[in-house]
Structure 1
């Protein structure tokens, strides 16, 4: 697939919209194309720049999309704008709905056991025609039983919500197990089940979801401090480019 990308701190982001991207994923699933998707925010970009092995892992992905307003801001600062955010959660809910309507199958790994119990109920009630090939919490010491189950069930989609860098590392290592769309989703299971509230629409429209999460969960404040460090890095790159 020929595609245009924009480099932000050496991470190539797909130039795409949510509707365009999910449409491509639908086609890939129908064609049983093995596809690795990374949904990256500034925290992931900064971590990748500090950990070469992880950067190599996500660089092996078939697509990296802009999950985070910081990525959109960075791209604009570098005069290489991206059309819009393409969040992991929005991709997730699109694929659940599309998968339900088209009788596709999905495998779910991640979150706490109590969240998985809620997820089972929501899937049964809201997506009754989606085939749940497997569903497991994110607390496991041995990958192999899960990989064996994926190999046996051959799902169309594999959703991994164990947080970075674990989810991308798992996908890169085991994506050979099924010709599916493999995607890391962070806390999406928590949001879908209502365990964690997504920011109200007005906060989303103002691109302040990151601030809402920080105010709602003070434990995240430390993580959110990555954003200004990231913007400083982007500014430094912009200054270097302007001097050339």
Structure 2
């Protein structure tokens, strides 16, 4: 397909160069036209993982839209001299689509999270977005992928949100998206936030681009994962220097 947005390449991943508002509007058009779309919201951790796992890099290349989810991606684009307008996070995109979906009675399929968390996600969506139809859901613990895909197809959803974490969710979508024309999007830990199990950083932290620090304080176990950020920035700076030579 011809992508309606220009892209900026960071570590061989093409990020769409647009705003949250324009991106959500494009997705709404795609959904209303029953187009098959695959969205990946990528952060530096995903970029570094893709660099070390060519099979995952290939999956990313199949996505219709890759968005800059993470201030590190915005910083990387800046360092390379190809700035991106703003972060487009999975959670913000999800909630924007739920708001719109409620107004247009869109059908959802939700896949992922622990059973109790998913139950709360369903309850909270029904409460906060009453016009949305939850056509089907399944927690992230399953052995039979084929049975899950059959459930998705039978549910005839307009939007399929997969919250099984990367790289699992992207491999799943890439493998099965052609079974049904809809929006397929990996949303990582967003179900935990929708359920209220994990608190999103307050606006002060978001506006000052230190959401990562808030999450680190709340979840010290993330420290090892955070170490990927300085490695990523060093690599991007090295590439930028090579390009200038």
TM superposition score category, shorter chain reference: over 0.9
- Is 2:196 aligned against 1:194? yes
1:46 corresponds to which residue? 48
2:110 corresponds to which residue? 108
Q: Is the 8 A contact 1:36 1:183 kept in 2?
A: yes
1:32 alignment partner, SS class: coil
Q: CA deviation at 1:176?
A: 1.3
1:65 alignment partner, SS class: strand
In the TM superposition, 1:1-244 aligns within 5 A as: 1-243=3-245
Q: CA deviation at 1:206?
A: 0.5
CA distance in 1, matches of 2:198, 2:45: 19
Q: Is the 8 A contact 1:150 1:177 kept in 2?
A: no
**Higher mean displacement: 65-74 or 209-218:** 209-218
CA distance in 2, matches of 1:146, 1:209: 34
Q: CA deviation at 1:17?
A: 0.6
CA distance in 2, matches of 1:135, 1:148: 12
Normalised to the residue count of structure 1, the TM-score between the two structures is: 0.98
Q: CA deviation at 1:68?
A: 0.3
Cα-to-partner distance string for 1:46-101 (whole Å, 9 max, x where unaligned): 00000000000011000100000000000000000000000000000011111111
Cα-to-partner distance string for 1:179-221 (whole Å, 9 max, x where unaligned): 1110000000001111001011100000011111111101111
Q: CA deviation at 1:2?
A: 3.7
Q: CA deviation at 1:135?
A: 1.1
Structure 1 residue runs without a partner (length 5+): none
Q: CA deviation at 1:169?
A: 0.4
CA distance in 2, matches of 1:76, 1:142: 43
Q: CA deviation at 1:3?
A: 2.5
Q: CA deviation at 1:177?
A: 2.1
Cα-to-partner distance string for 1:141-195 (whole Å, 9 max, x where unaligned): 1111110011112100000001000000000001012211100000000011110
- In structure 2, do the counterparts of structure 1 residues 133 and 230 end up closer, same or farther at CA, with 3 Å as the change threshold? same
After TM superposition, what 4+ stretches of structure 1 lie above 2 angstroms from structure 2?
A: none
Structure 2 residue runs without a partner (length 5+): none
1:141 alignment partner, SS class: coil
Normalised to the residue count of structure 2, the TM-score between the two structures is: 0.98
Q: CA RMSD in A?
A: 0.8
CA distance in 2, matches of 1:131, 1:121: 12
